[in-house]
Structure 1
């Protein structure tokens, strides 16, 4: 599915990796009106859905797990839908559907859409020789601080990838995605 912003892709990818498929917590920099705009677009496209609960819990900014409360005070969660999973390249068959009383299945590994800068970054870091900040910046037409932010934010914090680095004679500091 095309037309998803990087922020929407990060939100959907993070939700797909959570056992309960909860969209929350959102990335740390996404708050207030911007958060409502992004989530509203995902709701309209039916990539996420509101799931009412029987709990009478208030939205807690510290935990950031409850989207809102209905008129009766019950907590409403946001969960990624099957369409949302498909939008980021994760197929879910009938056998993968969670049981009503049981835990949700472990998320499948996300495959980034080909052709995106994030996919190219991951590809460079998975290459045998890894990549330096300067090599990545040149290949993606980014500033060095943007590369460092993507490594620490999008890849490490949001996608949970392990990034390693080492100094290599003649190249400088080389970064790689660690193999699990």
Structure 2
């Protein structure tokens, strides 16, 4: 019996499992007909670029622009002088939820942690419904859920993330669809270095 070794393409994406980027990555791969692939969570644009330059991943999936908050700064700054080829585009509706640690009184919350884009996409809703929560910028929405669940963030912190990420980490939802616009969408690109 002959054993065949198949080299699987690796695709780095912003975020971790449960992130909006993971959803977009799966959609982009389906759209591109890429079936022999492995998704690699690399959290941020800088990590994706470095992994592509080293040959550790062949492709990247990155959020490039949001309909509410504008260009994704980390993508713009990281790839501004880099030659790349855009292979596919996917526009993902983004619905943010606010989660807390189970058993913590919502009145005890002091801050809200999330990616800067998510904080910008929910600023008006939070000013109206949660005006006393201070902002804490972190690298990824799903990481906020993980850190809250693992106690890396204080239990007086709430996390803005997808419903999927909050459920993945057994957090308790305080509010859903807190994005300022019901038409909140992020454009993601599948790309490779040219």
TM-score range, shorter chain: under 0.3
Q: Which has the higher strand share?
A: 2
Give me the TM-score of the superposition, normalised by structure 2: 0.25
TM-score with structure 1 setting the length: 0.26
Q: Which has the higher helix share?
A: 1
